[in-house]
Amino acid sequence: MTKLIVANWKMNGTLESTRKFCQQITSFTQESKTRNTLVICPPALYLKSLKNDLKEGDIKTGAQDCSAFSEGAYTGEISARMLDDIGCEYVLIGHSERRQYHQESNDLLSQKIQRALEAGLCPIFCIGESEGDHEAGRTQDVLREQLKVLGAFKGNKSIVLAYEPVWAIGTGKVATLEDIQNACAFIKEILFNEYAVVSPILYGGSVKGKNASSILSLPAADGVLVGGASLQASEFWEIATAV
């Protein structure tokens, strides 16, 4: 089964490191192949360079965010149509760091998903519980609440979900395989029963080359969203070819 492997570089990298990554990942793809779908989400400033430097056509590009507005006097914003205009195909929406540092609400996230869909981008909608909610046994309650954003998109099959427990992002902590399977299976159940959708579910949270195979082998995990480990072409390729 084809898996979706998404790299989120966050606010890391330079033009030179982006070009070096592209050279290395291209050499890896020439030496061996993967049947998985690979998506790289660099800082927006480097999207065009990444697109130009990737010589392997099967690797797709994604943005880390998009504006809730289509166009207009919104200084500093980047619209979904602009991303589509430079060949972007995916966009992350609702990452926990956007929720935490920019106080993004469900209403705002719904608007961003709408703009992405209108532009022909595939939204990767991120959800996940805090450590306090996890320890208190409120994981399913939090996920159900966050999934309400999809109420306006019932039946839409163009949205990918990414389950990222907040306490496992960049901390080195990894949810147990049982936790990952249960959460992803719960999300699939809610999507099908309440929103008439069957969508790919990714897992994110300290995914590395050494644990990618076991995570990707889970029945309910359709791929992974990789943070820090995706900055090194060699480790990202190890993850990309883990299954």
Written as tens digits, the pLDDT of the chain (243 aa) is: 799 999 999 999 999 999 999 999 999 998 888 999 999 999 999 999 999 998 756 899 999 999 999 999 999 999 999 999 999 999 999 999 999 999 999 999 999 999 999 999 999 999 999 999 999 999 999 999 999 999 999 989 899 999 999 988 877 777 899 999 999 999 999 999 999 999 999 999 999 999 999 999 999 999 999 999 999 999 999 999 998
Whole-number Å distance between alpha carbons of 140 and 146: 10
Active site residue 95: yes
Show the tokens assigned to 179: 């936790």
Active site residue 71: no
Q: Which of 95, 97, 129, 134 is catalytic?
A: 95
Residue type, 173: K
Q: Which CATH number fits domain 4-240: 3.30.870.10, 3.40.50.1220, 3.20.20.70, 1.10.10.10?
A: 3.20.20.70
pTM for this one?
A: 0.96
- Between vectors from CA 208 to CA 9 and to CA 200, what angle results, nearest 5°? 75
Question: What's 196-240 look like in SS3?
Answer: CCCCCEEEECCCCHHHHHHHHCCCCCCEEEECHHHHCHHHHHHHH
Output the pLDDT for position 173: 77
Output the pLDDT for position 169: 81
Show the tokens assigned to 217: 């082998």
Output the pLDDT for position 56: 59
Whole-number Å distance between alpha carbons of 200 and 93: 15
Whole-number Å distance between alpha carbons of 243 and 240: 7
Residue type, 151: G
Output the pLDDT for position 58: 82
Output the pLDDT for position 32: 86
Q: Which of 134, 164, 178, 235 is catalytic?
A: 164
Show the tokens assigned to 52: 């130009």
Query: Residue length, the chain?
Result: 243
